[in-house]
Chain A
Amino acid sequence: MSANDGKTSPPPPPPPGPPAKPQPKNPGMVTVTVDGREVAVKPGTNMIEAARQVGSDIPYYCYHPRLSIAANCRMCLVEVSNAPKLVPACQTALSEGLVIKTTTPKVQEQQRAVMEFLLLNHPVDCAICDQAGECKLQDYYMTFNAQPSRLEGGKVMKDKRKELGPLVTLDQERCILCSRCVRFMDEVPKEPQLGIFGRGSHEVVDTFPGQQLDSNYSGNIVDICPVGALTNRDFRFRARAWFLSAAPSVCTGCSRGCSIFADHYGQDTHRYRPRENEAINKSWMCDQGRLSYKYLAKGRVPVARVGRGADLREVTREEAVAAAADLLRTHARQKGLAVLASPLASNEDLLAALSFAKDVLGVSKVYVGGRPQGQADHYLMTADKNPNRKGLAWVAAGLGLTLASFEELEQAIAKRQVSALYAVGAEVPGDVEAFATKAEALEAFVVQATNESPLLAAAHVVLPAAVHVEDEGTFTQADGITQRFRKAYPPRNEAAPHWKWAAELQRALGTEAAYTSAREVFRALAPKVPELASFAWDKEAPTNREKSGINPIPTGADGRPPGYRESGIPRVRGI
């Protein structure tokens, strides 16, 4: 066909072998098509995550992004262009140009079949199941099956209400054997206290005979259990999941500062759940932290009071502030006045309270209170049981205050060097009874306390302080990461945040305090603290839209308890 036709041999055929891999459409990425939508993801991305990026939600039970792949539930099977059969989306590697279909009739039939298989031996006791409302069997049944049961006859009987350990109860009949809990215990806290014993349809999740599930991370398996098999003994039967609202918050159990949701109903927090945070707690939290919510309601100081012993009386906020201001006024700018600050208080609380202490009360050092040291463990839990020690150090340094230990305060009181005390938080890292006795000698003792303590008997004025879920703010955890937490509900009774008491005391002592919210405190005072100055308070706020509970008629609106319905003619809500 050309000038030298016939003289040269035709080009050699391509060498035999597997066809060359297609060139990536997006260099450094893998490009696949999910349900007709193209998506480019990093190599190694899971098919479920890739599909999620373009809005295709592939259902699954056993898959968990932070655990190894088990591929045993078979719910995530999808059609792909390079295999004749359905493949599990959690396990199958993405390859360039792969076409994935997640809603074909074959896939839908598989989803229906798996749902039916899983419900075969499941008791379907949703009415008395704590998981109802946040159960993947319920959710997926409505989405992927919604068929009446075809099964008659008995189900496999297994153990129910088996107390695995101090925090977790197991119902083996509800279990779908996805093995998430077993993999979690193996892989995350590395305390493999669970196993799947037996085989076939008779196998069960359990502990070794006689062994307690006593890991400090056992609560997490309740969170990751997709069904009602594992329930939290502390939370069981306390609230229906759909009544609970979730406020993004921070655990105050130790200085790790795990990101959490505070699930609450009305003015009650019913549980903490870990909130995804790659830098701190991944998706987990420890059991001690999980149970640390209890102080939010238990033993709270409800109202302000003044006086000691027989003189003790409850007063209004205004009276209390006036009384406290009178006491502090006489001791302000005197050598005998000391300030005790708690590392349980938020940065905003400390900014306001310590500014007041320095500028108005005229102190140059702050004694550090807070909870005593405790045990650390091998994973998340630290020995320092205070969530904001770092924040306290930063704020004090930024305001030009030095820190002194609690022991020094004890000695100073014993030596009569300190005769008046303003305490932000009533927690002390020592013998509280002994300290209370020493504090009897103080001429003026004003304390802002969240919870009752023997120490309060020694106070001249007790101002009821809000806990962190009752206001917004920030904590700085042990590694120096500052986190915003959201307000779940307004302070109980007469309580108010520490910053607010400090501001009111400041005003009562004749100095302006130009802030009316935690946000304004931060804006006004954080610039003085280099570490906090750059923190974008508004931008760092965790989204508040995770879950909002259904609130029935509030107590007392019509004189009936919440959820009360009369039989007969349906009543109009709120009348």
Chain B
Amino acid sequence: MTSPAAPAVEKVISRAWGTPHSHTLAEYRKRGGYEALKKALEMAPQAVLEEVKKSNLRGRGGAGFPTGMKWSFVPKDSPKPKYLAVNGDESEPGTFKDRYILEEDPHLMLEGIAIAAWALDVHTCYVYLRGEFKFAAQRLQAAIDEAYREGIFGKKMLGKDFELNVWLVRGAGAYICGEETALLESLEGKKGWPRLKPPFPAVVGLFGCPTVVNNVETLASVPPIFQRGADWYAKLGTEKSGGTRLICLSGSVNRPGVYEISMATTLRQLIEDPDLGGGMPAGRKVKAVIPGGSSAPVLAADELDVALEFEALKVKQTMAGSGGVIVMDDRTCMVRSLWRVARFYAEESCGQCTPCREGTPWQTRLLRKIEEGRGEPEDLEMLLNVATSIAPYPPIGLGTTICALGDAAALPVHSFVARFRAEFEAHIHEKRCPFGDRPWGHFGDWA
């Protein structure tokens, strides 16, 4: 058993959150804002890119791809314009960190955009923001306007002959647009059907031009790298992954919310630490935890001593994903939980390719049948068979679909059934949900 207290860590992204007017340029400047950009502008673009590589920054959107490497895939000699697209389509259930960054400290990301633009020779950046984020959109637009007024964006960047235009584009309600090629389609004014790959966006992206797609948190992590140095940033993290992590904690814990933690923090520490999750509600025990957004395979209560970090979670056959940690306590029905997750992917399947379009509603239907006590013994095998047909290599996926949504929908099914098979079987044998069929809710008036 590890210590209940999480390792201390310096806050890099969230340090200004909650302070008065943290979202304004004036306050941001007081914290040393846009100093990192000044430093970066004195460096050659290639040196900026090397610095990011050295920092071991990895993408925070879900896949954890090394950011410096992603940037280096952009062809240097392309005659076409290059684009930066910021993925702010945060929709993975259990994830809400990017929204906080944009609402509390939008300039941190905007400075990251400016540095990335300099490194990549990008002159147009589109920030694709989830359509439902009205408040975040207002805050971000205000911050962009400030940056234009203060000579950061526009014809000259801090006096240097470098033009950068940043436009905010709001989505309109489609989870799939968080997939980077669907996001590009949506930016091009089409429905969000993921593209066939190859070619990858770094070569053929927005409007057919080389494009880098980065997550909001990823870009918000860039300015600290230049303020304090890549070595400092790398040391904050683990061997293969630099910096800190934002974790979105939700579900059955005393203190849900976004926390910036060291990557050495374990899941158990996250839940128990009084400054973080603050433990479980009185009398309750952890039953299961989803560690990285609802598409990440679930972990059981005895698997919580794992660091919330890309490699460690991979060993446990799950993933760090988007940092959405959902805690389920011992009153929670796993079948119903999985049904909720499966329903989401069925709702959000774009409908382009067969296994996902037809398989995700089928999974949902089978789960509902089992949850409502109508399940038959063969239904559980059929459920696993359907999931395998979408993603034939559990637990790693390698799905049969065009994008990763198929994997995202199928892998939770495998992990839930693998860990809680007895509960699924109990539903089928007892012909009812052992937890009762009343609506859920264990908090406030809904308890």
Contact = CB atoms under 8 A, between A and B. Distances in A.
Given A77-B400, A109-B392, A117-B359, A201 B351 contact: yes
Given A71-B402, A199-B350, A114 B357 contact: no
A116 B365 CA distance: 15
A118 B354 contact: yes
Most chain B Cβ neighbours within 10 Å, of A106, A153, A199: A199
A200 B350 CA distance: 5
Given A113-B355, A117-B358, A150-B382, A200 B349 contact: yes
A73 B400 contact: no
B348 interface: yes
B400 A110 contact: yes
A309 interface: no
Contacts of A71: 196, 353, 402
Interface string A89-130: 001000000000000001001100110111011000000000
Given A199-B351, A200-B361, A117 B196 contact: no
A117 B355 CA distance: 6
Nearest to A117: B358
Interface string A197-212: 0111111000000000
A84 B401 CA distance: 14
Contact of A120 (B191, B358, B401): B358
Contacts of B141: none
Contact of A200 (B348, B354, B382, B401): B348
A198 B348 CA distance: 11
Interface string B335-376: 000000000001111111111011111100100010000000
Contact of A72 (B348, B349, B353, B361): B353
Contacts of A86: 392, 400
A121 B362 CA distance: 10
A85 B354 contact: no
A84 B400 CA distance: 12
B44 interface: no
A15 to B, nearest CB: 19
B165 interface: no
B358 A201 contact: yes
B196 A114 contact: no
B137 interface: no
Contacts of A116: 389
B349 A113 contact: no
A141 to B, nearest CB: 14
Contacts of A74: 353-355, 400-401
Contacts of A151: 362
Interface residues of A, number: 34
Interface in A175-215: 176-177, 196, 198-203
A69 interface: yes
Of B357, B361, B362, B365, most A-chain CB atoms within 10 Å: B357
Contacts of B440: none
Contacts of A196: 351
Contacts of A73: 353-354
Contacts of A201: 346, 349, 351, 357-358, 360-361
Contact of B393 (A85, A150, A177, A200): A85
B86 to A, nearest CB: 24
A120 to B, nearest CB: 5
Given A72-B402, A201-B346, A201-B357, A91 B351 contact: no
A113 B389 CA distance: 6
A86 B400 CA distance: 7
Given A200-B348, A200-B351, A106 B392 contact: yes
Interface string A545-556: 000000000000
B398 A85 contact: yes
A289 B350 CA distance: 38
A120 B347 CA distance: 17
A177 B196 contact: no
B225 interface: no
B122 interface: no
B285 to A, nearest CB: 36
A118 B351 contact: no
A431 B313 CA distance: 84
A208 to B, nearest CB: 15
B120 interface: no
A72 B389 contact: no
Interface in A18-77: 69, 71-75, 77
A120 B351 CA distance: 14
Most chain A CB within a 10 A radius of its CB, from B353, B382, B392: B353
Given A85-B398, A109-B392, A114 B355 contact: yes
B168 to A, nearest CB: 24
Interface string B375-417: 0000000100000010011000011111000000000000000
Given A113-B389, A177-B351, A199 B196 contact: no
B347 A200 contact: yes
A176 B400 CA distance: 17
Contact of B365 (A118, A153, A176, A177): A153
Contacts of B352: 72
Given A109-B392, A177-B357, 15 more contacts: A69-B196, A73-B353, A74-B400, A84-B398, A85-B400, A113-B355, A113-B389, A113-B400, A114-B355, A114-B400, A116-B389, A121-B358, A176-B354, A196-B351, A201-B357
Interface of A: 69, 71-75, 77, 84-86, 91, 106, 109-110, 113-114, 116-118, 120-121, 150-151, 153, 156, 176-177, 196, 198-203
26 contacts: A69-B196, A72-B353, A74-B354, A75-B354, A85-B393, A91-B196, A106-B392, A109-B389, A113-B389, A113-B400, A117-B354, A117-B355, A118-B354, A153-B369, A177-B357, A199-B174, A199-B349, A199-B351, A200-B346, A200-B348, A200-B350, A200-B351, A200-B360, A201-B357, A201-B361, A202-B351
CB-based closest 10 A-B pairs: A113-B389, A117-B358, A85-B398, A203-B351, A200-B349, A72-B353, A200-B351, A199-B351, A201-B361, A120-B358
